[in-house]
C-alpha cells in the first residue's frame, strides 16, 4: 500500500473518567469508626467488671525491734542531776557557782587542775644529756628535747629546683639555727656520733630516730623518698640532721642510687652546681652536709673548690666521714670561710659487733686526749645497739655525748 504525503496522520487522546473523591473520604471514615468500635464492643461483651476492682490482702511481717545506738537515744532515760546537792532546784546554776568556781570549773581558792588525756601514750624516749622524756603522737616524738620545725623563715633562697638554705639578713645560718644546742659540762670532754644512710630502709630509720639518744646526729641520703618527713620526725625527737651528697668515688658506679645527681669529675662546673642545688632543695632543716663516697672528687682541689664556695654561700657546714684522707680540704674550707670538720672514720667498716665496739673504744680514747672526734656509722642493727650501750658508759669515762655540729668550726 502506498502512503500519500498529502494525507496527515493524527492521534487523539481519549479522556478518562476518575473515581469520585467523596466516595474515598466516606470509605476511610467508615474504616476508622469500625476500628474504634471493635475494642469497645469487645470490652462490653467479653470483659469482666470485677477485674477492675481492688481486693484481697497481703500479709507483711512486722520489722524486728532496732537496738538503740546509744542510751542517749532512749527518750524515757532519766538523766542524773549533776548539780544535785550543790544548787537548789529552780535556781540559775551559773549565778550560784560563779562566785566559787573559775572558767575551768576549779575552785578559785586553788590552782587549776590539768590532766593528761588517757588516749595519748606517753613513752620513755632515749635519754640524752638531760635524761628527759618524750611524748609520741602518731609515731612522732615531741617534748622538751624537740627542735623547732623547719623551715625557719629567712633561712632559704630560691633555686631552679626550689628552696635551698641561705644566710638570713641578720647573719644567721642553717648551722646556727638548725643545730642542736649544746653546753659542755665542766670536767667532761665531748665526743660525737653520726649515724648515716638513713631514709632508705624505713624500719631501721625509724629505729634510729626512736632509740638513739637525741645528741646523736642523724644523716639522711639526699635522694631518699619522703626526705622532709624524715627530717621533721628526727627533729621532733630532738636529733639534729645533715644530708649526704653523692660524689664520685674511685670505683664510681653510674647505676648506684643517686648516681645521676652525683658530683662528678670532668664535667662542666655548672652541671655540679645544678646537681648540688637539686640535692639541697630536697628538704629543709639540716645544718650541714657530708660526703657519700667521694674520695676521687674531694681529693681534687679544682673539683672541690666550687663546691665549698657554694656551700659557704648557703650557710651550711661540711663534715666528712674521715674514711679517706683529704689533705687540701681544710685549707680550701678556711679560704671560703666554710665551717668544716673531718671525721674520725667509720665505726662500722664491718657490721660486726666486736669490730664496732673496738672502734668505739678507739673513739673514746681519742676524745680523752683532748680533741673532739666525730665517729660515723651506718644504720646497721649492730651499730645502733652498740652505740646505745657505749653512750650509757660515757659519763663513767669522763666523756659527754655532743651533737656533731658542736665540733664544726
Within-domain flag for 9: no
pLDDT of residue 67: 59
User: Is the residue at 397 inside a domain?
Assistant: yes
**Is 98 in contact with 104 (CB distance < 8 Å)?**
no
How far, in Å, CA of 332 to CA of 340, rounded?
A: 10
**Pairwise pLDDT comparison (320 vs 37), residue with the higher score:** 320
pLDDT exceeds 80 at position 94:
no
CA 195, 201, 207, 210 torsion-angle sign: positive
What region does 226 belong to: left with phi over 0, alpha with psi -120 to 50, or beta? left
158: confidence class by pLDDT, cuts 50, 70, 90: very high
The span from the CA of 396 to the CA of 131, in Å, is 16
Residue 44 lies in a domain: no
- Domain of residue 261 covers 152-407
pLDDT of residue 131: 39
* Cis, bond preceding 42 (omega within 30 deg of 0): no
C-alpha–C-alpha distance, residues 213 and 225, integer Å: 24
- pLDDT for position 54: 56
Task: Give the CATH number for residue 201.
Answer: 3.20.20.370
Nearest to 375 by CA among 340, 401, 353, 338: 401
Determine contact, residues 343/320, Cβ cutoff 8 Å.
yes
41-45, 88-92, 333-337: which has the highest mean pLDDT? 333-337
Q: Work out the pLDDT band at 36, boundaries 50, 70, 90.
A: confident
The answer to whether position 189 is within a domain reads yes
- Give pLDDT, residue 337: 97
Count of domains observed in the chain = 1
Residue 24 located in a structural domain: no
Give domain status of residue 289, yes or no. yes
Q: How many helices (H) and strands (E) in the chain?
A: 11, 14
Residue 314 lies in a domain: yes
pLDDT for res 115: 36
User: With pLDDT > 70 as the criterion, what percentage of the chain qualifies?
Assistant: 70
| Domain presence at residue 390 | yes
DSSP 8-class letter at 62: P
Q: What are the φ and ψ backbone dihedral angles of 242, each rounded to 5 degrees? A: -130, 165
- Put simply, whether the predicted model's pTM sits higher than 0.85 gets the answer no
C-alpha cell at 317: 657546714
How many Å apart are CA 184 and CA 394, to the nearest integer?
Answer: 14
Amino acid at each position: 500500500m502506498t502512503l500519500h504525503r498529502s494525507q496527515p496522520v493524527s492521534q487523539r487522546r481519549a479522556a478518562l473518567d476518575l473515581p469520585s473523591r467523596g466516595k474515598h473520604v466516606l470509605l476511610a471514615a467508615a474504616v476508622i469508626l469500625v476500628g474504634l468500635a471493635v475494642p469497645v464492643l469487645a470490652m462490653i461483651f467479653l470483659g469482666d467488671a470485677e477485674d477492675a476492682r481492688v481486693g484481697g490482702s497481703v500479709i507483711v511481717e512486722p520489722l524486728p525491734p532496732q537496738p538503740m545506738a546509744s542510751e542517749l537515744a532512749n527518750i524515757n532515760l532519766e538523766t542524773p542531776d549533776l548539780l544535785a546537792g550543790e544548787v537548789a532546784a529552780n535556781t540559775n546554776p551559773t549565778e550560784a557557782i560563779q562566785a566559787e568556781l573559775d572558767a575551768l570549773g576549779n575552785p578559785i581558792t586553788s590552782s587549776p587542775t590539768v590532766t593528761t588525756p588517757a588516749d595519748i601514750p606517753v613513752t620513755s624516749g632515749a635519754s640524752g644529756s638531760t635524761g628527759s622524756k618524750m611524748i609520741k603522737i602518731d609515731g612522732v616524738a615531741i617534748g622538751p628535747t624537740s627542735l623547732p620545725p623547719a623551715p625557719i623563715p629567712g633561712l632559704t633562697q630560691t633555686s631552679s629546683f626550689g628552696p635551698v638554705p641561705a644566710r638570713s639578713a641578720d647573719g644567721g645560718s642553717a648551722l646556727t639555727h638548725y643545730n642542736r644546742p649544746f653546753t659542755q659540762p665542766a670536767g667532761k670532754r665531748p665526743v660525737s656520733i653520726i649515724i648515716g644512710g638513713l631514709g632508705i630502709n624505713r624500719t631501721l630509720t625509724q629505729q634510729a630516730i626512736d632509740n638513739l639518744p637525741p645528741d646523736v646526729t642523724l644523716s639522711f641520703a639526699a635522694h631518699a623518698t619522703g626526705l622532709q618527713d624524715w627530717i621533721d620526725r628526727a627533729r621532733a625527737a630532738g636529733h639534729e640532721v645533715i644530708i649526704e651528697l653523692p660524689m664520685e668515688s674511685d670505683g664510681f658506679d653510674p647505676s648506684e642510687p643517686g648516681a645521676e645527681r652525683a658530683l662528678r669529675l670532668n664535667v662542666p662546673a655548672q652541671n655540679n652546681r645544678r646537681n648540688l642545688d637539686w640535692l639541697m632543695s630536697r628538704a629543709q632543716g639540716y645544718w650541714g652536709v657530708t660526703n657519700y663516697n667521694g674520695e676521687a672528687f674531694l681529693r681534687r682541689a679544682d673539683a672541690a673548690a666550687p663546691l665549698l664556695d657554694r656551700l659557704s654561700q648557703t650557710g651550711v657546714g661540711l663534715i666528712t666521714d674521715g674514711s679517706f684522707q683529704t689533705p687540701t680540704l681544710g685549707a680550701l674550707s678556711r679560704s671560703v670561710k666554710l665551717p668544716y670538720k673531718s671525721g674520725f672514720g667509720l665505726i662500722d667498716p664491718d657490721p660486726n659487733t666486736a669490730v664496732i665496739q673496738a672502734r668505739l673504744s678507739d673513739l673514746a680514747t681519742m676524745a680523752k686526749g683532748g680533741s673532739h672526734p666525730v665517729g660515723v656509722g651506718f644504720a646497721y642493727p649492730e651499730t645502733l645497739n652498740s652505740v646505745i650501750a657505749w653512750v650509757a658508759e660515757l659519763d663513767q669515762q669522763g666523756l659527754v655525748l655532743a651533737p656533731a655540729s658542736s665540733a664544726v668550726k
